[in-house]
Structure 1
Amino acid sequence: MTELQLWLSALEMGCFFGMLALAYYLVLVGAGFFNFAIGPYAMMGGLCTSWLVIEYDMGVWPAAAIAVGATVVLAALTELVVVRPVQRRSGGGELPALVAVAAVLFAIQQFAGYLFGHPTLPGQSLATFDPVTVGPATLQPSALLLMVATVVAFVATALWIRYTRTGRLLRAVGDSTHAARLLGLPVNRIRLVAFLLAGVLAAVTGLLFAPKAGVNSLSGLSWSVSGFLAVVVGGTGSVWAPLVGGLLLGAVEVFVPYYFGGHSHVYGLLLVALLFFALRPQGLFVRTVRA
């Protein structure tokens, strides 16, 4: 394997981690806590698409649309049926919300296993064309689609947060939910928007990444951890911070096992996480909260 091929693989993994982290970021900014159900959302996007194509011989685009729609419904239910009632009864605490979304994570995995079964299904590519040659390396269609989607998602999110009213409200609610309520801002609506957008991003990410290694009902947990670590590394100081964290973890994911073999990437990711938790828990980019 050429060094360029390794870098392309690292870029693909980094885009995957970064997209998951961006979904985390939106909920973190809009609702003030980590939504650990992001991984299962992504798993549902990929698994539901593959299941519809394989079991019902459905076209990949209609299957993907149904999968994304179903995931968005799950994201909305997470906020409306689980998180919001829990926080209302607990006085708005973050810990009950974290426990609630952790329960949602495992509930979605169990539901997916019951509905789709437990075997790993091959991912379905949204487009079929010849691999793209980049010097001595090749880029598979699914990897190219994921990279393009990552650029589009981050640019669109950055512009949305900066220039639209809803995006600015998201930042205001994230700065201080209490102050936002006192000012009469639509906090509940903004939180729901954050969950819905995170659901769309996660679902698209899952179905674009699934062709690389397949997807099963247990993929959600590991994907949740990967996205969370990318946020921890990148921080929340910028919309682009999750992508920076994702790219760093992507490099670790690819290069560490290449040079050290086996499952050494697991220890590499753990080492990076421990270093950031211990030395820079706020991540590379720190978010400034307005008083």
Structure 2
Amino acid sequence: MPIFFQVIANGLVTFAIYVLVAGGISFLYAATRIFHLANGVVVLGAGYVFWWAWVWLGWHPAAAVVFSLVISSAVGLLMNEFVYEPLRRRGTKGLGYLIATLALLIFGTAVVMALFGAQPRTFDFQTASLVFGGVYMTVFQLWALMISILLLIVFFWIIRFTRFGKALRATADNETVAEVLGVDTKMLRRWAFLLASLFAAVGGILNGLEFNLDPNMGLIFAVRGFTAAVIGGVGSFGGAIIGSGLVSFLEQAIVWFFGAGWRNAIVFILLFLFLLLRPGGIFGSKN
């Protein structure tokens, strides 16, 4: 039984990070109909920019966080303005966007490696450990979980109770009708990319502090975020939360009982099974 609860605790830590990426991917798909896998680059870049500002330049951690969030938001907006919007004006459909976002993911990873090197980066960061009935968690892990939950609550409030959220839901239902009703869908897409980039950036910073930084992190988080979004139902923010939980807890269980070598395999197996049996996800249609 203690092993079961330890797996749950470890899963909560990875869930706190995965849900920020998956939520952004699912949210952006609802707003733009684009699978923004390049959000993985924002995760990667945010972690490395934070490391550079804090460890290399010696900034205060709070200043490094703000700087990383600003840079990450700018990167997300630039992706939209200079890649996706021109493609949209040309009438590009799903496959074109998919190729573009994969190209951005590869290009962004190469840029990060060119700027910061190909070797992993570490933080000299330690926090006290807490024990709850034989289950170990660090103080930072609890903070990461609380930060993630707080962001989810804020995001839910934005979507449900603000004009932006109402405009987003209208656009997700029917973009043409939303434009007729006066919704500035172009500005809506900008705000959507800004929010998704902020979410991904927070995930990148939390991941760097918990697991350190690796140049392959962008691809890893793109795949996990996409898998969680597909499991929950692409376009459903609540589905992204459920999908992230399933990916996180199953991944930790596999690592605990079968070793870390199966960690990536189980994610692809999950993705394959849902695409085969339930392509619409848990909260989507069977088709």
In the alignment, structure 1 residue 107 sits paired with structure 2 residue 132 = no
1:262–1:63 Cα change, 3 Å: closer
Q: Residue 285 of structure 1 is aligned with which of 271, 277, 283?
A: 283
Output one character per residue of 1:145-172: Cα deviation in whole Å (capped at 9) or x when no partner: 2211221121111111111000110111
Where does the alignment leave 5 or more consecutive residues of structure 2 unmatched? Answer: none
Aligned residue number for residue 81 of structure 2: 80
Worse overlay, 131-140 or 49-58: 131-140
In the alignment, structure 1 residue 252 sits paired with structure 2 residue 250 = yes
- Letter of the 1:200 partner, please give it: L
Secondary structure (helix, strand or coil) at the match of 1:263 reads helix
C-alpha distance in 1 between matches for 2:107 and 2:169: 30
Aligned residue number for residue 163 of structure 1: 161
- Letter of the 1:77 partner, please give it: L
C-alpha distance in 2 between matches for 1:124 and 1:79: 35
C-alpha distance in 1 between matches for 2:119 and 2:247: 27
Secondary structure (helix, strand or coil) at the match of 2:237 reads coil
After superposition, where does 1:21-100 map in structure 2 within 5 Å?
21-89=22-90, 91-100=91-100
Q: Which runs of 4+ in 1 moved over 3 A?
A: none
C-alpha distance in 1 between matches for 2:235 and 2:108: 30
Percentage of matched positions with identical amino acids = 25
After superposition, where does 1:180-195 map in structure 2 within 5 Å?
180-195=178-193
- Name the TM-score, length of structure 1 as normaliser: 0.92
- Name the TM-score, length of structure 2 as normaliser: 0.93
Whether the 8 Å CA contact 2:76–2:197 is kept in 1: the answer is: yes
- Aligned-CA RMSD value: 1.8
1:124–1:286 Cα change, 3 Å: farther
Whether the 8 Å CA contact 1:39–1:223 is kept in 2: the answer is: yes
Whether the 8 Å CA contact 1:123–1:213 is kept in 2: the answer is: no
Q: Residue 217 of structure 2 is aligned with which of 210, 216, 219?
A: 219
Output one character per residue of 1:193-223: Cα deviation in whole Å (capped at 9) or x when no partner: 1000000000001101212221133210111
Secondary structure (helix, strand or coil) at the match of 2:25 reads helix
Q: Residue 142 of structure 1 is aligned with which of 132, 137, 140?
A: 140
Deviation at 1:131, TM superposition (A): 2.5
After superposition, where does 1:263-278 map in structure 2 within 5 Å?
263-278=261-276
In the alignment, structure 1 residue 20 sits paired with structure 2 residue 21 = yes
In the alignment, structure 1 residue 152 sits paired with structure 2 residue 150 = yes
Whether the 8 Å CA contact 2:28–2:193 is kept in 1: the answer is: yes
Deviation at 1:97, TM superposition (A): 2.2
Whether the 8 Å CA contact 1:237–1:285 is kept in 2: the answer is: no
Worse overlay, 76-85 or 251-260: 251-260
C-alpha distance in 2 between matches for 1:124 and 1:171: 43
- Letter of the 1:82 partner, please give it: V
1:245–1:144 Cα change, 3 Å: same
Whether the 8 Å CA contact 2:159–2:165 is kept in 1: the answer is: yes
1:209–1:178 Cα change, 3 Å: same
Whether the 8 Å CA contact 1:231–1:245 is kept in 2: the answer is: yes
Worse overlay, 262-271 or 214-223: 262-271
Whether the 8 Å CA contact 1:124–1:207 is kept in 2: the answer is: no
Where does the alignment leave 5 or more consecutive residues of structure 1 unmatched? Answer: none
Q: Residue 177 of structure 1 is aligned with which of 172, 175, 178?
A: 175
Deviation at 1:238, TM superposition (A): 4.2
